[in-house]
């Protein structure tokens, strides 16, 4: 690895650490979901027709994770257990950046809401459980 690549990698790590202090991380998502009833229905509070579908390397920062979604389609995570199991599978797993590179995800990896190959300003603000539903509240990440 040359000096320039080492410098870029160090800068990316520093910026990722900063993002992980400002938004929900994979570890925080797992902890919150573990506190909930595994049979609770996942509901996106911003758009109830949105269903989360899986995890990918985020297009904006390849070393972050994106949670993909679909609208008006009953595919994806319907209950907490499915969402939690998929999130846990990401720990220690290697993901591939949109234009290349390998990135291992851990509990400090920041999360975004975006489909593969896309960027977004949406992040998870919080999760709340009520009436057998896990409400996922989204927020806009402001720089």
What residue ranges do the domains of the chain occupy? 3-140
pLDDT score of 1 = 58
Instruction: Please answer whether residues 129 and 40 qualify as being in contact, where contact means their C-beta atoms are separated by less than 8 angstroms.
Output: yes
**Of the candidates 135, 39, 118, 55, the residue with the CA atom closest to the CA atom of residue 87:** 55
The secondary element (H helix, E strand) that includes residue 113 is strand 111-113
pLDDT digits 0-9 by tens, 34-65? 999 999 999 999 888 899 999 999 999 999 99
Q: Helix, strand, or coil here: 74?
A: coil
> What one-character-per-residue DSSP string does 42-62 give?
EEESS-TTEEEEEEEE-SSST
The secondary element (H helix, E strand) that includes residue 19 is helix 3-22
Report the distance separating Cα 51 and Cα 73, nearest Å: 7
Q: Does the pLDDT at position 17 exceed 80?
A: yes
What is the rounded average pLDDT for all residues in the chain? 94
pLDDT digits 0-9 by tens, 58-102? 999 999 999 999 997 778 899 999 999 999 999 999 999 999 999
């Amino acid at each position: 690895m040359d000096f320039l690549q080492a410098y870029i990698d160090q800068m990316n790590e520093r910026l990722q650490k900063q993002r992980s202090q400002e938004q929900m991380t994979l570890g925080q998502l797992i902890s919150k979901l573990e506190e909930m009833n595994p049979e609770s229905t996942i509901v996106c509070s911003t758009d109830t027709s949105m269903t989360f579908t899986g995890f990918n390397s985020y297009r904006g920062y390849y070393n972050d994770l994106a949670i993909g979604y679909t609208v008006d389609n009953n595919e994806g995570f319907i209950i907490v257990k499915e969402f939690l199991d998929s999130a846990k599978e990401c720990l220690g797993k290697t993901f591939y950046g949109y234009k290349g590179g390998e990135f291992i995800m851990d509990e400090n990896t920041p999360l975004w809401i975006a489909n593969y190959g896309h960027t977004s300003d949406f992040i998870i603000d919080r999760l709340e459980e009520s009436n057998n539903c896990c409400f996922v509240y989204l927020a806009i990440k402001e720089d």
